[in-house]
Structure formats: C-alpha cells, structure tokens
C-alpha cells in the first residue's frame, strides 16, 4: 500500500477518495488482473463499475454529469492503479481524452459523449501514432478531405491504447496537407462507422491487459460537425494538452516504481543465501538505500508538479521534464528491484516481472524521452 503520510499535494478530501479507490480496486480489479493480462483486454464490465463508482473522468464539469474535481483526483486513481500493476486504459480516458472534449468540443459533442464516458458506456481512444510518425506529430499522414458536408478520412494508426474497446476515437489527421502542422485537425470517429476498421490486438512486451491496436481508415466518411474544435487547429490543441498527459505518465511511473521497491524489500528480507537473508548483505542495503532516497525525491517532485498543474502553472518544459525524470526513475527502480530478486525476478509468477516489463514503454509513449530532452533543451 502506498504511504501517503508525508505527501503534500493532497488534503483530507483526496485521502478519503483514495480509501474509496483502494476498496473498489480490491473488489473489482485485483481478482481479475491475471485474467485480463492473459486475455489482453479489460472487461467492459470493469469500465461500467468504474463509472458507477465515480472513478471515470472526475474533472468533467457537473453539468455533464462529472464531479467537477481537480486533477489530484485523477492522480490518486493513477497512483493506485499503477501500484497494483494494472495497465487498464481508464487513465487515458480520464487524463487525456476527456479534457480534449471538455476544452474543445461543441456543446452538442460534450452533451453526447461526456455523460457516457463518465458512466463507462463510452470507451475512448486518441489516435496520434502512425507507422511512420511517432513522437513527431507534424509527420502525420492520415488525411481528412472535405467532401460537401463530410470529411473523407484515409490513413492508418498504430499502437493505439483502448483500440479494441473504443467506441469513440479522436483521430489526428491533416485537413490541409500542404500546411504542415498548421493543417492538422482532430476528428471524432465512432466505432462502426463505414470505412473505419480495427486491426489486431497487438502483441506487446508488457502492459498486456491494455488493448493496443492498429486502426484503419479507408474512405471513412464523417460529418464536418465531427471536427473537435476549429479546423486546422489540432496541432495547437495537442501541444496544449501534452503537459497533463506527460504528468499523468510521471504519476503512474512513481506508483509502479514504489511497488517495485516494496516487492524488492519484501523479497530480500525473506530470501536466504549463505546462511543469512539477502537483506543482511551490505550491497543489498546500499542498493535499497539508494532507491529509497531517489523515491523520496521523486514523490516530493511529483507533489510540486501536481500543485503547479492544478494552479495552471505547469508548462510544457516542466511537463516534459517530469515525464523524462520519473519514467527514467521507474525503469531504474524496477530493474534494480528485479536484480535483487535474482533468478526469481525473471519468473512471471513474481509481481516484479510484470512491473519491469510494463515500465519499459513509459520512456517511449507520450513522446520518447529523447524527444523530452530535445524539448527541455529549448528552454535552456
């Protein structure tokens, strides 16, 4: 269980909320986690249960059925989810997609989609990455050409979280291919729309219960009114939302890192070698001490970032730095914790194996950590 006794970003309200989240996950998530990992997808029933418990899109305004809370409540959910070793895509819905619709959607779009996103009836995804365009969103080649009062979408996307379950996808497409980034728009496409097809559930190294898919668009026609926000403003919208997306990754990274450390401590205090516990060796204690110190710094920095974000002060460079540092820390902690398990760490029956596998992608999605350094370098 995460120790929140020294946290500074949360008050009694968030702490009470955390207790509710823990009880909910203990009942609805933990008993199903292994099955979801094997099946490669989280049950829709879990989404509906999350909706009923108020764990989806807590920042959405009350007028659309939300709780109208701040991002700290999202962070509570993210931390507890990652600490349990789950990669359920509810964080994508709450931390990323919901804000795009709240901030840029029309009144009709908000009224149509937000209540069902909150209830869990509508599962969402955002389709940015393409086979030839990852961290470089300016390189998107999917097009949405006007034809009367419709867009005709052609192109493909890959590595899309919630891709199998998604009822609604925000598609990043070029509405003016000659204008580069300035010709990018965000188009809403519902599952079942002719010309829109979901590919296979991709076989990944980790995060197995997060359904991750290829998406294909072939002469897919949607009304012009499906444009999210203003046409050709999509790249600006994407850049505006990335600090929160990257903070969300940092939050999850800390939850996963702490769990890995806790698993290592538990293992080395129980495991015997050469007549004593592995913990009794000085090297083990030094490795653990180094990790504990870095985790202390990590939680303190995360709380600063959370407070800056809810005050509207977290900028793009700080968001990139948080994503870079915390995901790097997660990998360092998970790798060192697995090493302390010895051969047992390589066995899937131990939680550390999944924590280690799931951590690897954190330095890739949301913009690779190499791109994070490039962005931060521009602020120097």
Q: What is the pLDDT tens value at each position of the chain, 380 positions in all?
A: 899 999 999 999 999 999 999 999 999 999 999 999 999 999 999 999 999 999 999 999 999 999 999 999 999 999 999 999 999 999 999 999 999 999 999 999 999 999 999 999 999 999 999 988 776 777 899 999 999 999 999 999 999 999 999 999 999 999 999 998 899 999 999 999 999 999 999 999 999 999 999 999 999 999 999 999 999 999 999 999 999 999 999 999 999 999 999 999 999 999 988 999 999 999 999 999 999 999 999 999 999 999 999 999 999 999 999 999 999 999 999 999 999 999 999 999 999 999 999 999 999 999 999 999 999 999 99
Instruction: Judge residue 328's burial from the number of C-beta atoms within 10 Å of its C-beta, 0-12 exposed, 13-18 middle, 19 or more buried.
Output: middle
What pLDDT sits at residue 174? Answer: 97
Integer Cα distance of 127 and 140 in angstroms: 10
Distance between CA atoms of residues 28 and 268, nearest Å? 30
Give the angle 66-53-43 at the CA atoms, nearest 5°.
Answer: 110
Active site residues: 245
Give the C-alpha distances (Å, rounded to integers) separating 305 from 6, 14, 56, 257. 16, 16, 22, 17
Which of 169, 148, 147, 150 has its CA nearest to residue 160?
169
Which residue segments constitute the domains of the chain, with CATH numbers given?
12-122 (1.10.540.10), 125-231 (2.40.110.10), 235-377 (1.20.140.10)
Tokens representing 44 are 């829709």
Report the C-alpha gap between 100 and 290 in whole angstroms.
Answer: 39
**Statement: the pTM of the whole predicted model exceeds 0.75:** yes
Partnered with residue 102 across adjacent β-strands are: none
Helix runs in the chain, H state only: 12-28, 33-39, 44-52, 71-83, 90-92, 98-104, 107-119, 234-270, 282-310, 316-341, 351-359, 369-377
pLDDT score recorded for residue 139: 82
């Amino acid at each position: 269980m995460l120790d929140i006794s020294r946290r500074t970003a949360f008050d009694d309200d968030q702490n009470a909320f955390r207790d509710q989240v823990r009880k909910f996950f203990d009942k609805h998530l933990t008993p199903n986690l292994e099955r979801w990992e094997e099946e490669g997808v989280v049950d829709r029933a879990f989404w509906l249960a999350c909706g009923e418990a108020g764990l989806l899109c807590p920042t959405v305004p009350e007028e659309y059925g939300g709780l109208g809370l701040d991002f700290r409540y999202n962070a509570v959910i993210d931390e507890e989810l990652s600490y349990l070793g789950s990669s359920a895509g509810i964080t994508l819905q709450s931390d990323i997609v919901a804000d795009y619709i709240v901030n840029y959607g029309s009144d009709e779009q908000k009224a149509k989609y937000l209540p069902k996103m909150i209830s869990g009836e509508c599962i969402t995804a955002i389709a940015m990455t393409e086979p030839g365009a990852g961290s470089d969103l300016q390189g998107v080649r999917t097009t949405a050409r006007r034809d009367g009062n419709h867009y005709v979408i052609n192109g493909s996307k890959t590595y899309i979280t919630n891709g199998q379950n998604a009822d609604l996808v925000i598609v990043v497409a070029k509405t003016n291919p000659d204008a580069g980034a300035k010709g990018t728009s965000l188009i809403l496409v519902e599952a079942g729309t002719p010309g829109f097809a979901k590919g296979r559930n991709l076989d990944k190294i980790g995060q197995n219960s997060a359904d991750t898919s290829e998406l294909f668009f072939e002469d897919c026609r949607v009304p012009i009114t499906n444009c999210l926000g203003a046409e050709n403003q999509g790249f600006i919208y994407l850049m505006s939302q990335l600090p929160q997306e990257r903070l969300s990754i940092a939050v999850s990274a800390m939850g996963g890192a702490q769990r890995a450390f806790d698993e290592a401590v538990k293992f080395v205090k129980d495991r015997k070698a050469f007549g004593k516990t592995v913990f009794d060796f000085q090297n083990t204690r030094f490795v653990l001490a180094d990790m504990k110190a870095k985790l202390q710094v990590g939680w303190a920095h995360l709380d600063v970032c959370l407070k800056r974000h809810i005050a509207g002060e977290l900028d793009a460079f700080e968001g990139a730095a948080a994503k870079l540092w915390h995901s790097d820390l997660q990998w360092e902690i998970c790798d060192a914790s697995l090493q302390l398990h010895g051969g047992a760490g390589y066995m899937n029956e131990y939680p550390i194996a999944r924590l280690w596998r799931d951590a690897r992608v954190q330095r890739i999605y949301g913009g690779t950590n190499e791109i994070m350094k490039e962005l931060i370098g521009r602020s120097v």
